[in-house]
Every structure is written in structure tokens, then in C-alpha cells.
Amino acid sequence: MIWQFQVASQIKEFELRNNPVIVTVNKFNEESAKEFRNRISLAHSTGQKIIPVVIDSYGGQVYSLMSMIATIKASSLPVATIVEGKAMSCGALLFSFGEEGMRFMDSDATVMIHDVSAGQFGKVEELKANAEESERLNKKVYRMMSENIGKSQDYFIKKIHEKGHADWYLDAKECKRINLANHLRIPKLNAKISVDINFD
């Protein structure tokens, strides 16, 4: 992602007190969720009007994803999501939480959607509990993802069921067709620095 600075001709030198924040997501774990929250918070003090979240990830822990989603929901600034390379599993879900009209995807990038897992280990009763939790999370995240792109709540549940619960890979054109991606390009971020001289 490229920053472009437009500096008024009246300005010879400038120094930004706070650089614009771009949030990058590669992993989904407790550490990355904490860093995500800190970066989103920092973006609110820079003067920028949009928070770009760049996703290039194979996925990770669904509970860390839920923490990131909560951070986006609490943000007072709109969040733009941008897929560079890949957004798989948790990455695909996070992508859908970009503001409508602000979900960008490189034309050669790939999205992969599949059932989430809460982690399967332990004794028989623990495995049953984990299976129930995985089912609960599946319904929850698929419902949110469907609503984010303007589809019926069971859109993704039906799609995954039709595919036999196998991994579902989507190219950029397919993501655009279902309204997961709004634009098939990487946006440029413009910072305009100007001088306004008024007579009062």
C-alpha cells in the first residue's frame, strides 16, 4: 500500500506529529489481537478519517478474530479492509467487516472460507463440548459475514453445506460478484498538507 503526500507550494518543510496508521494483519492470535486493538486506538489520534486494515493471512484462532471484530465495532472511524495476497479462514471473515464500499481486494488475491474450529482435544465429553462450540461459532460468524455483505443470514451456511464443508476458494471476481469485495484494486492513501490564509 502506497502513501501519497500532496504538499502545498507555500510549505518548505513539514513534520507530522503523528504518522497515519495502517493496520496489517498476518496472524490471528492473542498477541496479534492486542496489537490490532492498540493500532486501531492509535489511528484515532492521527487526524486520519479512515483506518486501512491490510490482510494477508492464512488464518488462525477464531477467538482472536472475535476480539478484532469487537475492536472494529467499537471504532468511531470507518475501517477499510484490503486483501493483499490472501485472506483465508479468519482473514476472510475479517475482510467482510470493512465498511460497505470500502472492501478492497487485489485482482490476483485469493479468499478461502471454511468451517471454524474451537480446537479438538481431550476426553470424549470434552470433544463433544468442543464440537458444540465449533457449531455455535460457525453459525455466529457465518451469520455476521452474510449480514456484512447484504445476504440472508444463512447464505454462507448453505454455500458451505453445498460444498460438502470443504474449503471454498474464491478469486477476486467471485468475491466482487457476491459483494464480499467492493473494489478489485489496492487503494492509494493520500495525505494532503495545505496552508489556509484568511482575513478575519
pLDDT at res. 196: 72
pLDDT at res. 119: 53
pLDDT at res. 169: 97
Look-up of cell digits 454455500: 159
* Dist. CA 142–CA 38, nearest whole Å: 27
Give per-residue pLDDT as tens, 75-107. 999 999 999 999 999 999 999 999 999 999 999
Pure H helices in the chain:
30-43, 62-74, 90-95, 124-148, 155-162, 172-177
* Dist. CA 148–CA 108, nearest whole Å: 23
* Dist. CA 113–CA 173, nearest whole Å: 15
pLDDT at res. 28: 97
Q: Which residues are catalytic?
A: 89, 114
Give per-residue pLDDT as tens, 22-39. 999 999 999 999 999 999
**Region of poorest pLDDT, from 31-35, 36-40, 65-69, 130-134:** 130-134
Please name which of 101, 84, 91, 48 lies closest in space to residue 68, comparing C-alpha atoms: 91
Domain ranges of the chain: 22-190
Give the architecture-level CATH label for domain 22-190.
Answer: Alpha-Beta Complex (3.90)
Q: What is the pTM of this model?
A: 0.86
pLDDT at res. 129: 74
Percentage above 90 pLDDT, the chain: 67
pLDDT at res. 96: 98
